[in-house]
Structure 1
Amino acid sequence: MKAERLHGCLQTAFRWGALLTLCAAPTQWTLINNPRLGPADLLLAATAGVWGLDILLTRGWRRLWAARPHWTHLLFAVCVGAAACVAASRGEAFKELVQIIEYFIVGAMVFTAFLHERDSAVADASRRAALPLFPVLGAVTAAVLALAALQYVAAEGHRSIARFAEPKTLDVIVNVLGGWQSPLLVGGTFGNRNVLGGFLALALPLAAAGALGGARGIVARGGCALLLLAGLALTLSGAAYWAVVIAVAALAAARGVRTFIPVAAALVLWQTAVLPRLPRENDLCHFESVALYDSAGQPARRYPEWQAAASMILTHPWLGVGPGNYQRQVGPFYGQVPNATGPAEPDIQNLYLVLGATCGLPALLAFWALLATAAATAHRTGRPGAAAALAAFAAAAVWHPLLVRGLGLPLVFVLALARHPLQEKASDGTDPV
């Protein structure tokens, strides 16, 4: 009896720990500066420890095997590890490697096991009230958007962003790149608009799938629709905004012409009649965030750096220059390309070029395989929201390096969700994905 009671306590602690980890994940708030650790990192470690202890005590090797990482996760981690061994700055490289292992190995196993445990709890009629996953995640997304709304409407800027942005980056934005009124500082619980856009590229397609019929009941669908509209109004990253719009249009098209036509009409009206009238003229913010040239007619800093990063890949195709070594090594690769000097907008690199330049082409291909196999599985098993979220993330990552603190664990959860078999019943209704 004592063993069974301990097993039950550990299971309960694991489920709540995994849910709390997901709730704490979408933020760049740092609890410990060196190494940089946030609340979700500590919660994930504790949750993984509880789950591991339960596996050992119950000899639940089948549960461990069922939660094993997908082969693409393992391949990606191995490729990054090989690149770390040849990095010029191995300290930075191994920090990045530890983060990759945390996200794509430990996080993937914890979230996969959590989804399996959730199904088991739902199957037990006595535990039907346990862990309403999607309503809780919707509430977390609403909290992120509520803070972003305060930052959006504040005439003189909202100082809450200082809790999430790196001090040096915040100083550059405030003193050089537009002051406290800069659209860069509409970041919610993230350091800037670009990282917030990456989170919304994952969250809003799931909300759209719920609004289009995945959620059970008019209240749930209405809540999903409100989240989607709020996210579209507060996203000031053009890349993330259009990635979400395309994902929503694709979800609507998949449901047939009767859904696609009104959704497409609403998106066009939103773009032409609503965005230009919002206080920050969102349509102009979107355009300027991805424009080829700035207001002075000079090439935007992002695109010459892309060419320099591509040159790094050509020079170091197998193992790159080492994870975490991108900024240290990119300078000499500009060649004849204009290299703008002075402060730059944060998080404007191309994720795929950064991965290829720092970890080599094998790691880049492994990461693409990781995203593609998960999206294909989600499409095949009837999770269109998860497939759309991964597609939107992949598109936004062309303009922003989205494998950063605050986004890694949400991404891994969507990957786990995409590969998880769809259940007919859930404790919080039909899965809206």
Structure 2
Amino acid sequence: MKAERLHGCLQTAFRWGALLTLCAAPTQWTLIDNPRLGPADLLLAATAGVWGLDILLTRGWSRLWAARPHWTHLLFTVCVGAAACTAVDRGEAFKELVQIIEYFIVGAMVFTAFLRERDGMTADASHRALLPLFPILGAVTAAVLALAALQYVAPEGHRSIARFAEPKTLDVIVNVLGGWQSPLLVGGTFGNRNVLGGFLTLALPLAAAGTLGGARGIVARGGCALLLLAGLALNLSGAAYWAVVIAVTALAAARGARTFIPVAAALVLWQAAVLPRLPRENDLCHFESVALYDSAGQPARRYPEWQAAASMILTHPWLGVGPGNYQRQVGPFYGQVPNATGPAEPDIQNLYLVLGATCGLPALLAFWALLATAAVAAHRTRRPGAAAALAAFAAAAVWHPLLVRGLGLPLVFVIALSRHPLQEKVSDGPPPV
């Protein structure tokens, strides 16, 4: 009896721990600076420990096997580990490796087990009521957007961004790149607009799927629609914004002409009539964030760096220069490409070039395989919203290195959701299908 009671307590603690981890994940606020650890990191470690203890006490090895990471997660982690062993600065490399293990091994197993065990409670309505997963995640997204709205409307910027941005980066933005009113500082619970945009590529396609029919009931669909509109209005990253628009368009097209035509008309009206009239002229912000040339006619900092990163890959194709060593090693690879001096906008690198340059082509191909197999699995499990989210994330990652703190765990959750079969009888609110 005591063992059964302990097992029940551990299961409850695990489920709530996983949910709290998801709620605490979308932020770059840190509790510990060295090493940089946020609330979600500590919650994930505690949740994984509770789950592991429960498995040991109950000898539930089948639960451990059922939650095993997909082979692409293992391959990607092994490739990153091999690159870390040959890095110039192995300290930084192993910090990055630990983060990859946290996301793609521990996080993947915890979220997979959470979704499976949550489905096991389907028959018990009293327990189901305790875990309204998607409404809670929608509320978390709404909180992120509410803070971004404060930062958006404040005429001299909102000082809340200082809690989430790195001090050096914030100092550069405030003193060099536009001051407190800079669009870079509309970041919600993230350090800048580019990382917020990365989060919205994962959240908004799920909200769009709920709006277009995945959510049950007019209230749920209305809530999803409000999240989508707010996210489109507050996303000042051009790459992330257009990635979301393309994902929403694809979701509408998949539902047929009756859905696609009004959605496409609404998006065109939104782009042509609404965005230019918003206080920050969002359409210009989007254009300037991805422009090839700046206002002085010089190449934007982003694109010459892409060429330098490609040169790094050509020079170190197998294992790269080591995880976490990109900024230290990229300088000599500019060659004849203009290398503008002075501070640059944060998070403007190409994620795939960074992965290839630091971890080698094997790691890059493994990461692509990870995203592709998850998207295919989402189609098989009938979760088009998750597939659209992964596609939007993959597209925005061309302009931003989105595998960073605050985005890793949400990405892994969407991947776990993609691989998880849809439960037809679940009545939990708006499922992101």
Give the alignment's TM-score, normalised by structure 1. Answer: 0.99
Deviations 1:206-249 (A, max 9, x none): 00000000000000000000000000000000000000000000
Query: Is the 1:153–1:279 contact (alpha carbons within 8 Å) kept by the matching residues of 2?
Result: yes
Contact 1:308/1:334 (8 A) holds in 2: yes
Are 2:14 and 2:47, in contact at CA under 8 Å, matched by a contact in 1? yes
- Contact 1:129–1:427 (CA<8 Å) still a contact in 2? no
Q: Give, in angstroms, the shift of residue 426 of structure 1.
A: 2.0
Spell out, residue by residue over 1:105-161, the C-alpha distance to the aligned partner (whole angstroms, 9 max, x if none): 000000000000110112334423120000000000000000000000000100000
Spell out, residue by residue over 1:27-52, the C-alpha distance to the aligned partner (whole angstroms, 9 max, x if none): 00010000000000000000000000
Q: Is the 8 A contact 2:313 2:357 kept in 1?
A: yes
Q: In structure 2, do the counterparts of structure 1 residues 317 and 35 end up closer, same or farther at CA, with 3 Å as the change threshold?
A: same
Q: In 1, are the aligned partners of 2:79 and 2:363 still within 8 Å (CA)?
A: yes
Larger mean Cα displacement after TM superposition, 421-430 or 13-22: 421-430
1:368 maps to what in 2? 368
Cα deviation, residue 427, structure 1: 4.3
Secondary structure of 1:121's counterpart equals coil
Instruction: Measure, in 2, the Cα distance between the counterparts of 1:213 and 1:25.
Output: 27
Could you say which residue in structure 2 is the equivalent of 1:84? 84
Question: Does the CA-based 8 Å contact 2:221-2:430 persist in structure 1?
Answer: no
CA distance in 2, matches of 1:191, 1:79: 29
Indicate whether 1:165 and 2:165 are aligned: yes
> Does the 8 A contact of 2:210 with 2:430 survive in 1?
no
Paired residue for 2:196? 196
- Looking at structure 2, the residues matched to 381 and 200 of structure 1 have their Cα atoms a distance apart, in angstroms, of 23
Verify the 8 A CA contact 1:318 1:362 in the aligned structure 2.
yes
What is the deviation of 1:429?
Answer: 3.7
What SS is found at the alignment partner of 2:120? helix
Is residue 131–residue 427 contact of structure 1 (8 Å, CA) maintained in 2? no
- Report how far residue 303 of structure 1 moved: 0.1
Structure 1 contact 121–130 (Cα < 8 Å) conserved: no
Cα distance per residue 1:273-319 (max 9 Å; x no partner): 00000000000000000000000000000000000000000000000
Unpaired segments ≥5 residues, structure 2: none
Which SS does the other structure have where 2:122 is aligned? Answer: helix
**Structure-2 separation of matches of 1:400 and 1:430:** 30
8 Å CA contact 2:220–2:429 kept in 1: the answer is: no
Q: How does 1:206-225 map to 2 (within 5 A)?
A: 206-225=206-225
For residues 212 and 81 of structure 1, the distance between their equivalents in structure 2, rounded to whole angstroms, comes to 42
**C-alpha contact (below 8 Å) 1:316/1:357 kept by paired residues:** yes
Distance (Å, rounded) in 2 between the aligned partners of 1:397 and 1:248 = 17
Identity of paired residues, percent? 94
Give every structure 1 segment of 4 or more consecutive aligned residues whose post-TM-superposition deviation is greater than 6 Å.
Answer: none
CA distance in 1, matches of 2:201, 2:243: 7
Quick check: 1:213–1:432 contact (8 Å CA) kept in 2? Answer: no
Which residue in 2 is equivalent to 1:349? 349
SS in structure 2 at match of 1:339: coil
- 1:66 and 1:341 mapped to 2: Cα distance? 51
2 CA distance for matches of 1:229 and 1:47?
34
Q: What's the TM-score once normalised by structure 2's chain length?
A: 0.99
> For residues 183 and 287 of structure 1, what CA distance do their matches in structure 2 show?
12
The 8 Å contact of residues 134 and 430 in structure 2, kept in 1 or not, is answered as no
**Mapped partners of 2:271, 2:196: distance in 1:** 20
Please report how far the alpha carbon of residue 405 of structure 1 lies from its aligned counterpart in structure 2 after TM superposition. Answer: 0.3
> Unaligned regions of 5+ residues in structure 1, if any?
none
Aligned residues: 433
Q: Distance in 2 between matches of 1:303 and 1:392?
A: 21
SS of 1:297's equivalent in the other structure is: coil
Q: Deviations over 1:192-211 (max 9, x none)?
A: 00000000000000000000
Q: Cα RMSD (Å) of the superposition? A: 0.7
Q: Which residue of 2 is the match for residue 396 of structure 1?
A: 396
State how far apart, in whole Å, the 1-side matches of 2:195 and 2:105 are: 23
CA contact (8 A) 1:209 1:385 kept: yes
Give the direction of change, closer, same or farther, for the CA distance of 1:195–1:80 in structure 2 (3 Å limit).
same
Q: 2:386·2:432 contact (CA, 8 Å) conserved in 1?
A: no
In 2, the alpha carbon distance for the partners of 1:193 and 1:126 equals 40
Give, in angstroms, the shift of residue 74 of structure 1: 0.2
Q: CA separation in 2, counterparts of 1:203 and 1:122? A: 25
User: How far 1:380 sits from its partner (Å)?
Assistant: 1.9
